[in-house]
Amino acid sequence: MKKIILVTTVLLAFFACSNKEEKPQYQFPAGGGPIQAGPVQGGDDIKMLKELLAKDPKNLNAWITLGNKTMDSGRYNEAVEAYGKALEIDPKNVDVRVDFGTCNRSIGRPDIAAKEYRKAIEMNPNHLNAHKNLAVVLAYDLKDSAGAIKEFEKALQIAPGAPDAPQIKMEIERLKSGK
């Protein structure tokens, strides 16, 4: 039994590392707020992860992978729960904290999202996605244009040559113009 759990854990760790793509957690549409990606399927993987976690509730990689899978499939409430469990085990995991914030925003809790992004920035002041996501929440949800501009400018300072730098610059100008 221990051997099965060990093999499953190793496979999950490999799967989590190889399957989680670096993806932007926002987009700047022409008309206003961010666009959410559509759901993807992964029910069998989610079921397997839940079964594993029922037997091994302290398995950090399994909680993170479950959070990633449920987030990617648009099951944000479940992702919040999984990421919350992962953060109970490893509260300093900045990437999980950012994803936790993003899922909270997706279920209508932008105040919690902003708080989580700020915690992530406190732990890693140069976390690019934390600054970008905080800017989006400030701009679109909390109507804090000045704060959003500051966060977008910090993102540009961190990664001036990022592929989305032109869109960020346009968004800063749009926010400054009040449109």
Q: Tell me which residue of 74, 71, 77, 79 sits closest to 38, measured CA to CA.
A: 74
Band of the pLDDT at 60, cuts 50, 70, 90?
A: very high
Domain residue extents for the chain: 116-179
Confidence at residue 179, expressed as pLDDT on a 0 to 100 scale: 77
Quick one: fold of 116-179? Answer: 1.25.40
Mean pLDDT computed over 76-100: 98
Residue type, 73: S
Band of the pLDDT at 11, cuts 50, 70, 90?
A: very low
Structure tokens at 179: 């449109």
33-58, pLDDT tens digit by residue? 343 333 444 578 899 999 999 999 99
Write out 121-133 in H/E/C secondary structure. Answer: HHHCCCCHHHHHH
Measured over all CA atoms, what is the biggest interatomic distance in the chain, rounded to whole angstroms? 63
Taking the whole predicted model, whether its pTM rises above 0.85 is answered as: no
103-125, pLDDT tens digit by residue? 999 999 999 999 999 999 999 99
Q: Tell me which residue of 135, 151, 152, 133 sits closest to 143, measured CA to CA.
A: 135
